[in-house]
A and B are shown apart, each in its own frame.
Chain A
């Protein structure tokens, strides 16, 4: 078995707080965006143990929090983990300290976009964006439009086609989008500046 440290020897963390307040800045922004104090985490690993998508992540969910505690912003924001998080909240349900990691993940995604960090999982970011575009337009998601536009954006036309046909045949994919009442209010909601970014 090789040691963990030598595997990652090239990526030694250098903490130099005296030269700048960057470390505590990340903690502060996360708390501002989602209300969670990352220092509350004591790294027991319960979140990683229960996470259904941890296997696919480049760093484990508890390490996202650990990096945030150390203020290593670039590493957190450029990870795939923050994008792969499905927001199922198993971590939050089981966390002995009551840290809502799923909210921290969300805050990190926001921060990544805000700071112009290219999402490690670009297609997921595009899906999120398309999803919100749908909601803004119709007040709810129209699956067929979402799928079509998502495929246009990612230029991946053929994956899941068979599933799509089956869903269509079973009447799961409506041809015409249904609209909700009060779409004006929804647009107003989207137009309202986000609290977190108001100072920028």
Chain B
């Protein structure tokens, strides 16, 4: 064993506190060390040359660099020794800068501390073994989960870069929430006018497959090599035959199903497509409401269909497909808790509606053809109250967070209401106006100053009926006084929340969620698109409430991450990964629980100890998927039988470090 020690001055960063010469002298006496030297900047090219020359001249086989944090320069020195013919994992770094010189004054103890750190590194490197990184292949096909504007944008960007995409959408059409909106703030672009071309682009793109009416069931594998099971629900309509003529939609006798797309403000039939511009534009049969499926009698759609596309015998298909990367773009839901909203009379008085319902009332393709009317009597409202923060910023009844977009759509709806109904009086009850986007503040001011919306700062305590009107009891905190206003219609800006099954999807994907069930990003500032699991990316409001510009920007960000991954020749696996000694593993599963990356699973193997030639005994053991393992070492620390080990940080290496330190202390520190 021939160890070389290289002590860096780091200019004056180390040398002004630590007596570098003394460290070199002490290193020469350490067991196994045949060469030690120092240099002003070890990471510089001349510094690296010193190491490479010494490796050749002194036939060194293990290297210790005493300098900065391995986080900063371990890859530098690994490349350096690799170029000189050593395995890159035969380098150890002693961090005598962050963990020594930066935290000490120039004292003999500081130098002694540096010597101890070098001694530990020398003891450890003596036990190092060469490690190799394996090359993993990549399936260059992406899965996008969720067909809202985030999923659409991500799919288009990836496909435009030349990689095939499967876009999975739960409902019968892509488009998501954006398709429900009337106009968009702050430019008042019609949502459908800017979204439907993108939806059509998705449908016609040769590299994009849309799997609508489908859900992800199971995800296995790791970056570059995911294996995903998707349930493609039976549409009862043969898509290859259906021309989307819409005859069945007119003839279906079940007419009174509240339309999900219209948020219950309109109705749909049992065979339906969510909206006229749906993509794909072919209907599905809602079997829970279809008379044929419920009673066995009807079959009108089958009789009427001119091309015989109705197929009652269709079954759900579970498709397994390989993907290299996954973009999660499942979006949000809105708060619908009627009990918690009792103070506003939501669910009790028909003229108290949610903002999304109001959006459908304003939309030209909505149930009223864009006429704003009261749900109770169909009359045009002469006054409307918009109430912000319903369920948002409300720790007691809803969520403590701000839903971010409500201030803006309140302003937009108040403006559009005034635009459509000239003599309407609008009131917006708000806590704060959060209009921090390009052109947003100006938009809100326009609503107030030009469109005369009455903004009242204060929450609403109660909404109650009086005659055929509603009385909104609130406060004007700017005057410090209670306030009442009688209106014809009340619109509640309900909070954005994660889907009820978001946690379930997170579990399938092996990614984490925050306390509300929004998906967690890898780093809130520097890795906002990634999750901790490689190869899975986030786009849009499934991460946190976002408006359309932020959603689209993040979707393009996620797509560029996917394209970046796919443009690599191969993925290099981590070398410092965990492994399990299956002979000693008792299969307790503790490591499976603690692994933050979901890299460990329990598998059944033959128990070699208990099995005889005639009787095979099986046992459960933990197995590490090295493609997923990040080498954090949590499993090795948790394992009770010492079976889970981490390459590069083996127990014997760590014990050697501790021994070296203890020996030096016992010897009275010469």
Judge: A and B partners, yes or no.
Answer: yes
Residues of chain A whose beta carbon lies under 8 Å from any beta carbon of chain B:
4-5, 7-9, 11-18, 23-24, 37, 39-40, 42-43, 62-63, 66-67, 69-70
Q: Which of B445, B456, B482 has the most CB of A within 10 A?
A: B482
Contacts of A40 in B (CB 8 A): 445, 449
B454–A70 touching, CB < 8 Å: yes
Residue B485 CB within 8 A of the other chain: yes
A66–B476 touching, CB < 8 Å: yes
| Interface SS majority for chain A | helix
Cβ proximity bits B478-489 to A, threshold 8 Å, 1 near / 0 not: 111111111010
Q: A39-B449, A39-B452, A43-B457 are in contact. Are A16 and B485 (CB under 8 A)?
A: yes
Contacts of B484 in A (CB 8 A): 12-15
Indicate which residue in B425, B452, B481 contacts A13 across the interface (CB closer than 8 Å): B481
B521 to chain A, nearest CB (A): 34
B485–A15 touching, CB < 8 Å: yes
B481–A43 touching, CB < 8 Å: no
A157 to B448, CA, bound (A): 50
Indicate which residue in A5, A18, A23 contacts B482 across the interface (CB closer than 8 Å): A5
Contacts of A17 in B (CB 8 A): 383, 425, 485
Residue B287 CB within 8 A of the other chain: no
Residue B475 CB within 8 A of the other chain: yes
For the complex with contacts A18-B382, A39-B449, A67-B479, 8 further pairs of A-B residues with Cβ separation under 8 Å are A5-B480, A8-B480, A9-B482, A15-B483, A15-B486, A17-B425, A42-B448, A70-B454
Contacts of A43 in B (CB 8 A): 457, 478
A37 to B452, CA, bound (A): 10
A7 to chain B, nearest CB (A): 7
B635 to chain A, nearest CB (A): 55
Contacts of A66 in B (CB 8 A): 476, 478-479
Q: Which of B456, B457, B480, B485 has the most CB of A within 10 A?
A: B480
Contacts of A15 in B (CB 8 A): 427, 454, 483-486
Cβ proximity bits B449-491 to A, threshold 8 Å, 1 near / 0 not: 1001010110000000000010000011111111111101000
Q: A24-B452, A39-B449, A39-B452 are in contact. Are A13 and B476 (CB under 8 A)?
A: yes
Of residues 247 through 270 on chain B, the ones whose CB sits less than 8 Å from some CB of chain A are none
Across the interface, name the chain B residue whose C-beta is closest to A59. B479
B425 to chain A, nearest CB (A): 4
Cβ proximity bits B305-332 to A, threshold 8 Å, 1 near / 0 not: 0000000000000000000000000000
Contacts of B483 in A (CB 8 A): 12-15, 70
Contacts of B469 in A (CB 8 A): 18
Indicate which residue in A11, A12, A42, A63 contacts B445 across the interface (CB closer than 8 Å): A42
Across the interface, name the chain B residue whose C-beta is closest to A40. B449
A155 to B376, CA, bound (A): 64
Contacts of B476 in A (CB 8 A): 13, 66, 70
B477–A4 touching, CB < 8 Å: yes
Contacts of B452 in A (CB 8 A): 24, 39
Query: 16 A-B pairs, CB-CB below 8 angstroms?
Result: A4-B480, A4-B481, A7-B480, A8-B482, A13-B481, A13-B484, A14-B485, A15-B484, A18-B383, A18-B469, A23-B425, A37-B449, A40-B449, A43-B478, A62-B478, A69-B454
A93 to B10, CA, bound (A): 57
Contacts of A16 in B (CB 8 A): 485-486
What are the 3 A-B residue pairs with the smallest beta carbon separation, nearest first? A4-B480, A15-B485, A17-B425
A5–B481 touching, CB < 8 Å: yes
A37 to B484, CA, bound (A): 24
Across the interface, name the chain B residue whose C-beta is closest to A71. B454
Contacts of B456 in A (CB 8 A): 70
A84 to B210, CA, bound (A): 70
B178 to chain A, nearest CB (A): 30
